Amino acid sequence: MKGGRTTNVKQNLTWILTSLILSGLLGLASMSLASEEPWIRKADMPTTRRYLSTSVVNGIIYAIGGRRSEYLSAVEAYDPATDIWTKKADMPTRRMGVPTSVVNGIIYAIGGWNGSSLSTVEAYDPATDTWTKKADMPTARQYFSTSVVNGMIYAIGGWRGGALSTVEAYNPGMDTWTKKADMPTARDILSTSVVNGIIYAIGGYDGSSNVSTVEAYEPMTDTWTTKADISFERFGLSTSVVNGIIYAVGGSGGAKRLVEAYEPATDTWTRKPDMPTARVALSTSAVNGKIYAIGGGSSSSVVLEEGVVEEYRWLLAPGHLPQSVAAEGKLTTAWGKLKAAK
DSSP code of residue 153? E
Cα–Cα distance, 41 to 304 (Å, whole number): 15
Tens of pLDDT, residue by residue, the chain (342 residues): 445 544 454 455 444 444 444 444 444 444 444 447 899 999 999 999 999 999 999 999 999 999 999 999 999 999 999 999 999 999 999 999 999 999 999 999 999 999 999 999 999 999 999 999 999 999 999 999 999 999 999 999 999 999 999 999 999 999 999 999 999 999 999 999 999 999 999 999 999 999 999 999 999 999 999 999 999 999 999 999 999 999 999 999 999 999 999 999 999 999 999 999 999 999 999 999 999 999 999 999 999 999 999 999 976 443 333 333 222 222 222 222 222 322
Sheet holding 223-227, edge to edge: 191-195, 198-202, 214-218, 223-227
* Alpha-helix residue ranges (DSSP H) falling in 178-293: none
* DSSP code for 5: H
DSSP 206: -
Measured CA angle at 260 (ends 319, 331), to 5 deg: 30
- Asked whether the beta carbons of 58 and 102 are under 8 A apart, the reply is no
Q: Report pLDDT for 161.
A: 96
Eight-class DSSP state of 320:
P
pLDDT confidence of residue 147 = 98
Identity of residue 73: S
| CA angle (57, 59, 63) in 5-degree steps | 60
Answer yes or no: are the C-beta atoms of 107 and 60 closer than 8 Å: no
Residue 331's pLDDT is 25
DSSP structure class, residue 257: S
| Whether 189 contacts 205, CB under 8 Å | yes
pLDDT value for 322: 37
Q: What is the pLDDT of residue 256?
A: 98
Residue 100 CB partners (closer than 8 Å, separation 6+)? 53, 54, 55, 62, 64, 107, 108, 109, 110, 146
Measured CA to CA in angstroms, residue 305 lies from 297, 302, 308 at distances of 8, 9, 8
